[in-house]
Amino acid sequence: MYMIVVTQVPFLVTIWYSLRSWNTLTPGSNKFVGFDEYKLVFADPTFRSAILNTVVITASAVIISMILATTLAILVNRRFIGRGVVRTMLITPFLLMPVATALLFKTTIYDPIFGLLDWVLGPFGVHQVNWVGTHSVAAVVAVLVWEWTPFMMLIVLAGLQSEPLESLEAARVDGANAVQSFGLITLPYLRRYIELGLLLGSIYILQAFGEIFVLTQGGGGHGSATTNLPYYIYELAFNQFNVSEAAAAGVIVVIATEIIAMTTLRLLSTLFRASEAMG
Amino acid sequence: MATVAAQRPRRRWLTRRRVVGTFWTTFTWLLAFVLFFPVLWMVLTSFKREGDAYTTPPKIAFHPTLSQFSQVFNGGAGPPFEHSLFVSLVSVVFVLLLGIPAAYALSVRAIERWRDVLFFFLSTKMLPYVAAIVPIYIVALHIGLLDNDWALVILYTGFNLPLAVWMIRSFLLEIPKEVIEAARIDGAGLFIELTRVILPVAIPGIAATALICVIFSWNEFFFAYFLTATRGPTVPVFMISFLQSEGEYWARLAAAATVACLPVILAGWLAQRQLVRGLSLGALK
């Protein structure tokens, strides 16, 4: 019951507001207008670019962190000295408060003069680049990748560790080398785990707000290149006080997320049945 | 002679294997170090004086000072920490109070259609926060919960509950059925069964669940920012205040970030074995 009240009621209220034309700055504007606000949202070029930005930011962050995470998971899955310490070090970025991470990256790493990035790239002839200003999307994506790689790594690692050893053993007996047995046996086995990581990652990164709020305030090299949907809704509701348009945009985001979510749920359900069958 | 000849390539193969192994180990360490470096840098910077924080090349050797930490606490970090602590702890208590019975009803004594219920729980987790913030803000405004810790307690309980139910359920399922049945045969009632038989076994899993919920509540920024910004900010909202003075106080920012992240980093390290289970909603072990 509690879950229904806390999660479903706000959504119903959102739909209700989205069908009205409420702007808190305009008295008497709170009345029923049907789908007009949706038309307004779709007509807004910022909304369309916000969709595009969301797709670009989410997809690149999810894919890059998955590649990095799979590499790391394979490396950490070996036995070596200090494996526990390395694992602990690797999961730490995920534990950091996202807002603090973004602040630290903005100052100590991305700063054009005193930032670490400027110092590291100095010998390669890169000097005093305003990372956040000119490469804003890349700057945001880099922070997101740094934050979410550990999450993906843990999921892939769980997959690697649950892999039945017999099939690998059989492959070795058949004369497969390390690369072959990885490509032919481990990777197909990992597929479900990688999919799960990608989907859950997408659902979370789609909602990235704090990082963008801190790093770029939705701005960027080309106008508002980092305004993703959450930031767009925030601007509508809390800077332009356009409650209904924000609510309408919110409903659209829900529908979009729902598509990813349904896929995730289906995948989880198969994993879940599989582990049940094993247990 | 024949045996020596046979052994030699084998030994060479072994050393080659060892060299390759050392290479990968070094490579792994190097990667881990690079990825961990920003965290290390945060901690290092927090012990610097402001003058040492702005140098090219960045300074690694400096006179450590604790003054940034004392400034952070004198600069108003106390109340945000109290708010965050209160919200995280109270919401986790609610999560456990509601989550343990729910998980029990979905595993040990499974109710009808438990699978649907379980997936309904999960589906609620997938609603994007942004879609809910406008109505939540308005509701909070009308019932006077704006700038009130309880608003966040209710919300955080709501968004951590599905995760907790899934996770606790996966721990409860690991308790051997025979143990529970034996207790029932001995005449244990529901309450005794829960408190004497199930909880003692499931306590490590429940503790890990609680830690993960605390991590999420502690780091949450979106709701906290909108619902408590003016009075009663939580730690993430407090961190945002550095956005205005950013560029002038790096060392102090680093000190504040260190203090803000430390509890969660420690909690996460403690719970790292269970972390993956929490993150995959109990689907993976």
> Greater confidence, A157 or A167?
A157
**pLDDT given for residue A37 in this prediction:** 66
Question: Mean per-residue pLDDT for B81-105?
Answer: 88
Q: How far is A222 from chain B (nearest CA, A)?
A: 22
B24 touches chain A (CB under 8 A): yes
**Quick one: tokens of B203?**
């306590």
Question: Average model confidence (pLDDT) for chain A?
Answer: 76
List beta partners, residue A32: A20
Question: Mean per-residue pLDDT for B245-263?
Answer: 79
**pLDDT given for residue A64 in this prediction:** 93
Contact A155 B280 (CB under 8 A): yes
Neighboring chain A residues of B39 at a CB cutoff of 8 Å: 92-93, 96
**pLDDT given for residue B7 in this prediction:** 56
**pLDDT given for residue B251 in this prediction:** 82
Please say if the pLDDT value at position A59 is more than 70: yes
Q: Which residues contact A136 (CB under 8 A, 6 or more apart)?
A: A215, A216, A219, A220, A221, A225, A226
B269 touches chain A (CB under 8 A): yes
Lowest mean pLDDT among A21-30, A33-42, A95-104, B145-154: A21-30
Across the interface, which of A89, A101, A151 has its CB nearest the CB of B279?
A: A151
Cα B189 from chain centroid (whole Å): 35
d(CA B198, CA B203): 8
Question: Mean per-residue pLDDT for A271-279?
Answer: 62
Q: How far is B159 from chain A (nearest CA, A)?
A: 8
Please say if the pLDDT value at position A65 is more than 90: yes
Please say if the pLDDT value at position A255 is more than 70: yes
**pLDDT given for residue B91 in this prediction:** 92
Please report the ipTM that was assigned to this predicted complex: 0.80
Question: Mean per-residue pLDDT for A200-206?
Answer: 83
**Phi, then psi, of A254 in degrees rounded to 5:** -60, -45
Q: How far is A157 from chain B (nearest CA, A)?
A: 9
Contact B240 A254 (CB under 8 A): no
B262 touches chain A (CB under 8 A): no
The set of long-range contacts for A162-165, using a CB threshold of 8 Å and a minimum separation of 24, is A162/B284, A162/B285, A163/A189, A163/A190
**pLDDT given for residue A19 in this prediction:** 46
pLDDT band at A243 (very low <50, low <70, confident <90, very high): confident
**Quick one: tokens of A53?**
């930005």
Please report, rounded to a whole number, the percentage of residues in chain B having pLDDT higher than 90: 3
DSSP label at residue A223: B
User: What residue spans define the domains of chain A?
Assistant: 50-245
d(CA A69, CA A145): 10
Sign of the torsion angle spanned by Cα atoms A38, A39, A44, A49? positive
With CA atoms as reference, report the closest residue to B146 among B227, B235, B230, B234. Answer: B227
- Greatest extent of chain A over all pairs of C-alpha atoms, in Å: 78
d(CA B115, CA B165): 12
**pLDDT given for residue A25 in this prediction:** 46
**pLDDT given for residue A36 in this prediction:** 62
In single-letter form, the type of residue at position A35 comes to: F
pLDDT band at B90 (very low <50, low <70, confident <90, very high): very high
Neighboring chain B residues of A246 at a CB cutoff of 8 Å: 134
> Greater confidence, A278 or B12?
B12
> Best interface-test mutation with A: which of B127, B136, B150, B274 has the largest number of A CBs within 10 A?
B127
Q: What is the pLDDT of residues B150-184, one digit of tens each?
A: 888 888 888 888 888 888 888 888 887 777 778 77
Q: How many Cα atoms sit within 13 Å of B193 on the Cβ side?
A: 20
Residue B167 contacts residue B205 (beta carbons within 8 Å): yes
CATH architecture of A50-245: Orthogonal Bundle (1.10)
B32 touches chain A (CB under 8 A): yes
